[in-house]
């Protein structure tokens, strides 16, 4: 190991729904005193909370977990950090490589394979060659479209909103406001980015500021020359642009 790598202090979190898998990673790290395990998490919700509060610079992250997948965890946390995906599934491991992960460990893995992954991870610790997590997430989620649920982080808590329960989405500066069942969830995302991830047969960009779930539409009214408004089943009124109206006509 190079001197600069030996002196690098690493704060790591291990995320895996299997206790045995976490213990194996922990055991492999016993010969690396420079790596401090600051938390172990058994599901994605725990991981989001720990990452948000403890701010590690390295994650050992399982991909397929109940509640939240590894990719969904990355979508919900901020900051750049090195990531080693740990998985039992070849197809996910390959995807992890494609989306710029530091490396992946395919279960079961050897000590030698672990050492290689850790060495590469240290080279990507912030201050070295950090991974932009947004790029990782966008590349991964592009293969899982259209979205079936929207994830919103509120502090260290996570709200999971099934897309069929979304009434409409409104652009608010650098955020989108997701309107669902009488509640509003703010998510830092561009409306155009969300539009491309939703099912175009169900969600329509009716205006530069609105994406509508067409199942919520009651009727469209003309309120001025070439100006229309969408009336939702709950009485909400949304402005409809000329291009938005053309899109709606194609679906209705």
pLDDT at residue number 71? 87
Question: Domain range for residue 110?
Answer: 3-142
pLDDT at residue number 2? 44
Say whether both 12 and 121 belong to one domain. yes
- Contacts of residue 115, Cβ cutoff 8 Å, sequence gap at least 6: none
pLDDT at residue number 195? 95
HSE toward the beta carbon, residue 27, CA cutoff 13 A: 9
Phi, psi of 64 (to 5 degrees): -95, 105
Say whether both 37 and 134 belong to one domain. yes
Say whether both 121 and 10 belong to one domain. yes
99, 123, 142 — which closes off a domain? 142
- Give the number of domains in the chain: 2
Tens of pLDDT along the chain (252 residues) come to 444 444 568 999 999 999 999 999 999 999 999 999 999 999 999 999 999 999 999 999 998 898 899 989 988 998 778 889 898 887 766 666 666 666 789 899 999 999 999 998 888 886 666 566 666 667 666 667 799 999 999 888 899 999 999 999 999 999 999 999 999 999 999 999 999 999 999 999 999 999 999 999 999 999 887 789 999 999 999 999 999 999 998 887
State the CATH number of the domain containing residue 47.
3.40.50.2300
pLDDT at residue number 251? 82
Say whether both 122 and 177 belong to one domain. no
Say whether both 131 and 8 belong to one domain. yes
Closest of 43, 46, 39 to residue 13, by C-alpha: 39
118, 142, 166 — which closes off a domain? 142
Say whether both 13 and 132 belong to one domain. yes
Residue found by looking up tokens 């932009």 in the block: 132
**What is the crossing angle of helices 19-28 and 111-123, to 10°?**
70
Phi, psi of 48 (to 5 degrees): -60, -45
126, 142, 158 — which closes off a domain? 142
pLDDT at residue number 52? 94
Say whether both 183 and 216 belong to one domain. yes
- Contacts of residue 242, Cβ cutoff 8 Å, sequence gap at least 6: 226
Say whether both 117 and 154 belong to one domain. no
């Amino acid at each position: 190991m190079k001197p600069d790598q030996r002196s690098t202090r690493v704060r790591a979190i291990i995320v895996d729904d299997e206790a045995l898998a976490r213990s194996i990673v922990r055991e492999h790290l016993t010969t690396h005193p420079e790596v401090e395990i600051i938390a172990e998490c058994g599901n994605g919700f725990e991981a989001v909370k720990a990452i948000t509060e403890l701010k590690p610079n390295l994650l050992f992250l399982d991909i397929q977990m109940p509640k939240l997948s590894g990719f969904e965890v990355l979508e919900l946390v901020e900051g750049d950090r090195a990531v080693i995906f740990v998985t039992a599934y070849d197809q996910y491991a390959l995807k992890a490589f494609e989306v710029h992960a530091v490396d992946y460990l395919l279960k079961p893995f050897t000590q030698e394979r672990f050492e290689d992954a850790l060495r590469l991870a240290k080279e990507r610790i912030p201050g070295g060659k950090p991974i932009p997590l947004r790029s990782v997430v966008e590349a991964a989620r592009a293969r899982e479209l259209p979205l079936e649920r929207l994830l919103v982080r509120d502090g260290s808590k996570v709200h999971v909103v099934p897309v069929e329960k979304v009434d409409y989405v409104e652009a608010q500066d650098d955020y989108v406001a997701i309107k669902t069942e009488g509640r509003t969830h703010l998510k830092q995302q561009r409306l155009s980015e969300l539009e491309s991830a939703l099912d175009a047969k169900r969600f329509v960009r009716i205006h530069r500021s609105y994406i509508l779930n067409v199942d919520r539409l009651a009727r469209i009214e003309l309120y001025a020359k070439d100006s229309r408004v969408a009336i939702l089943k709950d009485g909400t009124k949304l402005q409809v642009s000329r291009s938005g109206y053309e899109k709606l006509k194609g679906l209705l």
